[in-house]
Amino acid sequence: MTASLSTNPLLAPWTSAYGLPPFATTRAEHYEPAVRHAMARHLAELDAIAADPAPADFANTALAFDHAGAQLHHIAMVFLNLVAAESSPGLQEAERTVAPLLAGHEAAVYLHIGVFARIDSLFQRRGELALDPEQLRLLERIHLDFCLAGAQLPQAARQRAAEIASELATLTTQFTQNVLADESSFELELGAADLEGLPASVVSAAREAASQRGKAGHLITLSRSLMTPFLVSSPRRELREKAWKAWVRRGQLNPERNNLAVAQQILVLRRELALLHGQACYADFALRDTMAQSQSAVSALLQRVWVPAVARAQQEREALRQQAATNGEPTDLQPWDWRYLAEQVRQAQFEVDDAAVKPYFSLERMLEAAFDCAHRLFGLEFVEQPGVALYHPDARLFEVRRGPELVGVFISDNYARPSKRGGAWMNEYRYQSRSGGTVLPIVANHNNFAKPAPGQPSLLSLDDVRTLFHEFGHGLHGLLSNVTYERLAGTRVLRDFVELPSQLFEHWALEPEVLTKHARHTATGEPIPQALVEKLLAARRFNQGLETVEYTSAALLDMALHSHADASTLDIEAFEKAELTRLGMPAEIVPRHRPAHFLHLFSGPEYAAGYYVYMWAEVLDADGFEAFVEAGNVFDAQVAERLWRFVYSAGNRREPGDAYRQFRGRDPAIEPMLRKRGLL
């Protein structure tokens, strides 16, 4: 290595505790040279596989491919995690260079003709190789990865596919950074009069948001955990309108970084990629390696939900208008009125006041609840290690143990900050595997809860609690992984299966015995009253018309955009309006994500033409939780053991439909999901 490379901490052995990345010594300028060096090393490893004079076998080809590029994978995972969780101008500048490099390199890997020739020869002879089921699955997945990347295409098409990958990486990086810029820059200042009617928790969070930005007073930002309670509780209609309009126009608040133009370019390139692969549109291309398989299957599910959801939303709308009339307020219901009036209706119908509920849901207690459920289901213990240096003071590290055995490392990063993108997500710094020695997973959960003032507890809404459990379910999927090969580890499953472990774990958040044990008042320590638990459970299906219409409209819009015949002349905003009109979208509701800030679609390919996966997985999770209900115990040991064996620990060892049948004993039924949402 050159002198500069020899002092690059990313390229030196990682000697931090648990093999963590060198957070303290790594700077933004280290990433590009480290990535370039590791890319070259990876390509050399692939060239060696291709040049091996020995006939291709599992060890010298499929296994060697699984091991290749380890250094690059580790560096890339650190980089991609930090640009989302703790960005900076320097990291954003590096991202604009490194993201296209990584995309181009991935294309080069899967278009490596010499390696593919050996993989393909093994694949064609797979029935003769006496492979065990996991070896066979690895070979089949690697072969499919090559085929989906275009390894079987003619040379000119392969070259163009690689160029498109690089161009898309540049555009998706730009899209993500534009959203972060809007989320980081918008501020709605609240004067003393504007604080009237707001719960103490919102006032405290608004004060802390101002403090984080170096200002006095109170600010409402575009953090969901601050925006939503403000829209729920503020009696100032004009302020709700201002906040809501900024919220739904993220990604286009500044004309100089309007994401609609970026999204259009992404759609054009994706369709070109689909055509190279012989598919009519990108949706068809993206669905090839999914449980759904086809647009018709996705449409059938979404339409099954859409019609009753709209009818339910229309009923809710009338109740809100009646509430507005009772208040002596305008009855021309607007989107920024919905949650404010809905909270009043909810309080009247169920006697549940969010401000009175929140003190029972502190972040610390709910994190303990999630840990306790993981212990009762899977035997895990989470032991905090406060002395380990991470990338931000708010991030916390836990050893994850089963008895005396260390099974992984869990990083919990829960608070919103200007350097962190919005939303909630799980990612990994290291995947579990065994084929090159025991490698333990390092998993991180990221939430964007409003940070409380110093010395005050962090109070969560019910939505926040569900989000915490959701991401923790993803975390368990990574931590419990028990596979041999990294390509099959943890969350590296089909995308309409990956949400099953996360959504399934949400069910335990509102289980009465979990609430009774862990939901304790921050001031008194008293457990949540049983009467309040019953009210919360009774209110679970409240406002499901809104929630379901918001989600389903976004999923339908995703499929419509990615099946459009020609995006080069597409006016995305006009298309969105026309599509929602065609669907019969209630005027008072907007999709959960609009195109200019729809990060699921335009920050990368993972959920493009795939936002439907949450509902697909909800069919599985609702039906799956019924297994515990049928057993008469939500912590039933036998059901939990099957859940661990065939879902949480299985990774991608087997086809997901078969994995679910092994757990449940049959195919899933849709009715539990419809009942869960109150749509039957």
Question: What tens digit of pLDDT does each residue of 1-11 get?
Answer: 565 788 999 99
- For residue 495, is it within any domain? yes
Residue 256: count of CB within 10 angstroms of its CB:
6
DSSP result, 326-375: HHT---S--HHHHHHHHHHHHHHHH---HHHHGGG-BHHHHHHHHHHHHH
518 and 394 within one domain: yes
Same domain, 429 and 329: no
Task: Examine the fold and report which residue of 509, 538, 567 is the final residue of a domain before the chain moves on.
Answer: 538
* Host H or E run for residue 220: strand 218-220
- DSSP state, residue 604: -
> Does residue 86 sit within a domain?
yes
The total number of residues shown for the chain amounts to 680
Hey, what amino acid is at 447?
N
pLDDT of residue 1: 57
pLDDT at 149: 93
Both tokens assigned to 178: 């534009």
For residue 556, give the CATH number of its domain: 1.10.1370.10
Residue 591 counted as domain residue:
yes
Report the pLDDT averaged over residues 552-562.
Answer: 98
Residue 410 forms beta bridges with which residues?
A: 398, 443
> At 229, phi and psi to the nearest 5?
-65, -30
Residue 24 CA, distance from chain mean position: 27
Name the one residue in this structure whose structure tokens are 């009210």. Answer: 535
Catalytic residue among 106, 183, 471, 547: 471
Q: Tokens for 288, please give them.
A: 């090839």
Instruction: Name residue 200's amino acid.
Output: A
Residue 496 shares a structural domain with residue 593: no
Bridge partners (DSSP) listed for residue 399: 383, 409
Q: Is residue 167 part of a domain?
A: no
Count of CB atoms situated within 10 Å of the CB of 289: 15
pLDDT at 292 > cutoff 70: yes
pLDDT digits (tens, 9 = 90+) for 336-356: 999 999 999 999 999 988 888
Q: Which one, of 87, 66, 256, lies nearest residue 173 by Cα?
A: 87
Same domain, 290 and 427: no
pLDDT score at 346: 95
Amino acid sitting at position 176: T
Residue 657 lies in a domain: no
CA nearest to 449, candidates 470, 463, 432 = 463
The string of DSSP letters for 452-480 reads PPTTS--B--HHHHHHHHHHHHHHHHHHT
Cα gap 163→40, rounded to integer Å: 19
Quick one: 485 and 552 in the same domain?
no
Query: pTM, whole model, 2 decimals?
Result: 0.93
Structure tokens at 419: 């350097």
Domain stops at, among 593, 611, 629: 611
**Other CB atoms closer than 10 Å to residue 347's CB: what's the count?**
15
Strands 396-402, 381-384: pairing is antiparallel
With a cut of 90, say whether residue 174 has pLDDT above it: yes
Angle in degrees, 0-180, between the axes of helices 89-110 and 70-85, rounded to the nearest 10: 140
Residue 381 domain flag? yes
Percentage of the chain with pLDDT > 90?
97
Torsion, CA 631, CA 633, CA 635, CA 640, rounded to 10: 0
- Tell me how far the alpha carbon of residue 409 is from its chain's centroid: 19
Residue 341 belongs to a domain: yes
The closest of 452, 541, 393, 445 to 226, measured between CA atoms, is 452
Predicted local confidence at residue 54, as pLDDT: 98
Q: Answer whether residue 158 shows pLDDT above 90.
A: yes
242 and 269 share one domain? no
- Residue 480, domain extent: 359-538
State both tokens at 626.
């019924």
Query: Above 90 in pLDDT, residue 532?
Result: yes
Shared-domain flag, residues 107 and 12 = yes
For residue range 439-466, list pLDDT tens digits in order: 999 999 999 999 998 999 999 999 999 9
CA-nearest of 502, 506, 508, 454 to 480 is: 502
| Nearest in space to 495 (alpha carbons), one of 247, 298, 296 | 298
Q: Tell me the per-residue pLDDT of 143-155, one tens digit each, with 9 for 90 and over.
A: 999 999 999 999 9
Confidence of residue 544 (pLDDT cuts 50, 70, 90): very high
Structure confidence by residue, pLDDT tens digits, 635-655: 999 999 999 999 999 999 999
Total number of domains constituting the chain? 4
pLDDT at 3: 53
Is 517 found in the same domain as 379? yes
Domain boundary among 576, 611, 646: 611
* H/E stretch holding 398: strand 396-402
Q: Are residues 404 and 273 in the same domain?
A: no
Average pLDDT for the chain = 96
Count Cβ atoms below 10 Å from residue 588 Cβ, excluding itself: 20
pLDDT recorded at residue 145 = 97
Question: Is residue 67 pLDDT above 80, yes or no?
Answer: yes
CATH code (residue 120): 1.10.1370.40
How far the first Cα of the chain sits from its last, in Å, is 65
- Model pLDDT for residues 223-233, shown as the tens digit of each residue: 998 999 999 99
Q: What is the tens place of the pLDDT at every residue in 11-40?
A: 999 999 999 999 999 999 999 999 999 999
Alpha-carbon gap, residue 595 to 572, rounded angstroms: 8
Check if 471 is active-site.
yes
> Is-contact 70 41, C-beta < 8 A?
no
Could you report the per-residue pLDDT of 80-102, keeping only the tens digit for each? 999 999 999 999 999 999 999 99
Q: Answer yes or no: do 507 and 364 share one domain.
A: yes
Residues whose CB falls within 8 Å of the CB of residue 492, separated by 6 or more in sequence, listed in order = 431, 651, 652
Give residue 99's pLDDT. Answer: 95
- pLDDT at residue 517 is higher than 60: yes
Distances (CA, A) of 194 to 74, 248, 336, 387, 670: 48, 21, 16, 41, 45
Q: 283: number of CA atoms within 13 Å, CB side?
A: 21
- Measured CA to CA, the distance from residue 404 to residue 398 in angstroms comes to 15
How does residue 495 score in pLDDT terms, banded at 50, 70 and 90?
A: very high
DSSP-assigned letters across all residues of 82-149: HHHHS--HHHHHHHHHHHHHHHHHHHHHHT-HHHHHHHHHHHHTGGGS---HHHHHHHHHHHHHHHHH
Return the SS3 of 69.
coil
- Please state the three-class secondary structure of 514-559 as a single string: HHHHHCECCCCCCECCHHHHHHHHHCCCCCHHHHHHHHHHHHHHHH
**Residue 669 resides in a domain:** no
Looking at the fold, whether 285 and 324 belong to one and the same domain comes out as yes
447-460 burial: b if 16+ Cβ within 10 Å, else e: bbbbbbeeebbbbb
CB-CB contact of 495 with 610 (8 Å): yes
Task: Say yes or no: 391 and 466 in one domain.
Answer: yes
